[in-house]
Amino acid sequence: METKRYTEDELLFLSDIQHYTFCPRQWYLMCMEQMWEDNHLTVEGALLHSKVHEPEQSERRGDVITLRSVPLASYQLGLYGFSDAVELVPASDPIGPAFVHPQYPGRWDATPVEYKRGKPKRHNADRLQLCAQAICLEETYGIHIPRGYLFYGEIKHREAVLLDEALRLELFDITEQMHRAYESKRPIAAVYSSKCRSCSLVNQCLPRANQFGSASEYLLRNNLFNP
C-alpha cells in the first residue's frame, strides 16, 4: 500500500485541475481570492452539471450501471471531489481486482465519465480532470482504469480518453504545482492571451494591464483615467 503524500487537511478541489491547467491566474483568483463571476459559458456548464450531480439519479440499464456524483479522494494527488458519472459493467477479469458496490452485488469494471458544455479542446485540461477522477477510484478500490470518457454538450457526443502513463505523469506534475502555489500563497501574475476572451473573470483579472509599464499608462491607454 502506497504511503499517503498528503493529509486530509491538504486536499484541494479536484475540479481545480481544469481551472489551473486552463490558466493558473484564473485558479489563483478563484481558489485564493475567492472571486467568481458568471458568464454565458459558466451558466451553460452549471446547467449541464445540475442534471448529472444527483446521486438519486443513479440507474441500471441491462448490464450497465450509471452512478451519479460518486465521492472521490486521492491522497497521492492531494485532491477530493465528486464524479459526474461512473459507469459499471461486469468485470472482464473473473479473479482480478474489481469495483464493488453495496447496492449492486457483483464485481464490476468502473469507467469515469465527465460532462463538459463545449466541444473537445486542444489543451489537456478536461483529460487531466478525468484522469484525476480515475486515479481517485483506483486508489480507493484497488483497481486499474485504462480509459474514461468526456461527454461534450455542444456536439452531443463523448470521446474516449486513454489514461496512459504520459497523461498520468502530466497530472502529477500539475497537482504538485497547484499544491506548491497554494502553500506559497504568492499571487500569480496575469498573462494576456486569446483564452482571456472566454474567461468570466477577465474584468477582475485585468490581464492587459501587464502589457503596460505602469497602472497609470494602462488607465490612460484604455480611457479609464482623466488627469
Question: What is the average pLDDT value for the chain, to the nearest integer?
Answer: 83
In this structure, are 115 and 171 located in the same domain? yes
Q: How many domains is the chain partitioned into structurally?
A: 2
- The more confident residue out of 177 and 208 is 177
Residue 42 banded pLDDT, cuts 50, 70, 90? very low
Under a CB-based contact definition with an 8 Å cutoff, are residues 141 and 73 in contact?
Answer: no
In this structure, are 160 and 197 located in the same domain? no
Amino acid 2: pLDDT: 64
In this structure, are 65 and 85 located in the same domain? yes
Residue 10 banded pLDDT, cuts 50, 70, 90? very high
Residue 213: inside a domain: yes
In this structure, are 202 and 179 located in the same domain? no
Structural domain including 209 reads: 190-227
Mean pLDDT of 32-55: 54
- List pLDDT tens digits, range 175-204: 999 999 999 988 888 877 777 777 777 777
Report the 3 state secondary structure along the chain. Answer: CCCCCCCHHHCEECCHHHHHHHCHHHHHHHHCCCCCCCCHHHHHHHHHHHCCCCHHHCEEECCEEEEECCEEEECCCCEEEECCEEEEEECCCCCCCCEEECCEEEEEEEEEEEEECCCCCCCCHHHHHHHHHHHHHHHHHCCCCCEEEEEECCCCEEEEEECCHHHHHHHHHHHHHHHHHHHHCCCCCCCCCHHHHHCCCHHHHCHHHHHCCCHHHHHHHCCCCCC
Amino acid 9: pLDDT: 94
Residue 1: inside a domain: no
Amino acid 156: pLDDT: 86
- List pLDDT tens digits, range 113-166: 999 988 888 889 999 999 999 999 999 999 999 999 999 988 888 999 999 999
pTM: 0.81
Residue 81: inside a domain: yes
CATH of residue 117 = 3.90.320.10
In this structure, are 100 and 199 located in the same domain? no
In this structure, are 113 and 208 located in the same domain? no
Residue given cell 482571456 in the structure block = 196
Amino acid 72: pLDDT: 97
In this structure, are 146 and 38 located in the same domain? yes
